[in-house]
Amino acid sequence: MKKRRTFIFACTGSDCKSNGGKAFAEAIKETINEKPFRGKFKLVKTKCMDCCKSGPVVVIKNELIKKGDLEQLVKELAQE
């Protein structure tokens, strides 16, 4: 059976958006389209995830990544 892509859920609610969530989602999109990650992940933009004080936030494999930490996200992607 073919392995399916892993979903990355990025909050685009108003608080996350005001804290740079839109730019963070674009950075994620660029990262997952690079050579080692291409075709393995799917970015899904969501509404509020109730983590407003920690925004922008991303959920990947039941792991919550807070404060728009792209470095931590790349570490999670590399483990896949």
The domains of the chain are located at 6-79
The CB density around residue 39, as the number of other CB atoms within 10 Å, is 8
Question: Class assignment of domain 6-79?
Answer: alpha beta
For residue 78, the model assigns a pLDDT of 85
For residue 41, the model assigns a pLDDT of 92
Residues of the chain with pLDDT under 70: 1-2
Q: Tell me how far apart the alpha carbons of residues 36 and 18 are, in angstroms, rounded to a whole number.
A: 30
For residue 20, the model assigns a pLDDT of 87
pTM of the predicted protein model: 0.86
Structure tokens at 31: 């990262």
